[in-house]
A and B are shown apart, each in its own frame.
Chain A
């Protein structure tokens, strides 16, 4: 029952964040919202694992956390450089 309460709170948060992602004035608002949405998805997977009594799902939560971070950094790099890979001799003025 406590897992259902946690799932309700996290679900409401995901809806609010999704509204911000759809509204967001700049692309960085959307990236921030998607990052938060991914973390909430990890929470939902962990809570569902305990709700169903199948704690094997926690491996999926760990994998989702890894992919979420890599995806966020990749989108940020693409937004800043317009490219996901560049030659080594280009002057790198900042790191993302």
Chain B
């Protein structure tokens, strides 16, 4: 039962299961971020939802792909894509939020004095 072939099959099955888990979790995080992009009331809260889908879902899906690829050039390319996206995506989101702040986009503040639920 524990010969070399059996252990190879065991490790292949574990890798497939781990890859399934990572990819499905990443797809779920992406869908949660998309629902948040639709339902959240404000630009600055939508930035939060977008960052969930942008960083978390991307990272989990690429980790699942790396487990499937094994050690090699493909994994190197995947690591390069992940590193680049992890640097540039928060940078672009930060620049976007800063430009919106300078342009005068106000956050929605839930204030008890106001019946509209907006302070400004």
Contacts and interface: CB of A to CB of B under 8 A. Distances in A.
A80 B27 contact: no
Contacts of A36: 33, 37, 50, 53-54
Given A16-B38, A20-B37, A6 B80 contact: no
A26 to B, nearest CB: 6
B96 A28 contact: yes
Contacts of A58: 74, 77-78, 81
A12 B19 CA distance: 20
Contacts of B33: 13, 36
Name A's interface SS.
Answer: helix
Contacts of B119: none
Interface of B is mostly: helix
| A interface, size bucket | 35 or more
A76 B65 contact: no
Given A16-B38, A32-B46, A9 B99 contact: no
Interface string A71-90: 01100100110000000000
A29 B46 contact: yes
Interface stretch (B4-12, B87-95, B109-117): B87-95
Interface of A: 2-3, 5-6, 8-10, 12-17, 19-20, 26, 28-29, 31-33, 35-36, 39-40, 42-43, 46-47, 50, 55, 58-59, 61-62, 65-66, 68-69, 72-73, 76, 79-80, 94, 96
20 contacts: A6-B24, A10-B57, A13-B33, A14-B34, A15-B34, A16-B31, A17-B34, A28-B43, A28-B97, A29-B46, A32-B46, A33-B50, A35-B93, A42-B58, A46-B78, A46-B81, A65-B85, A69-B88, A69-B91, A80-B99
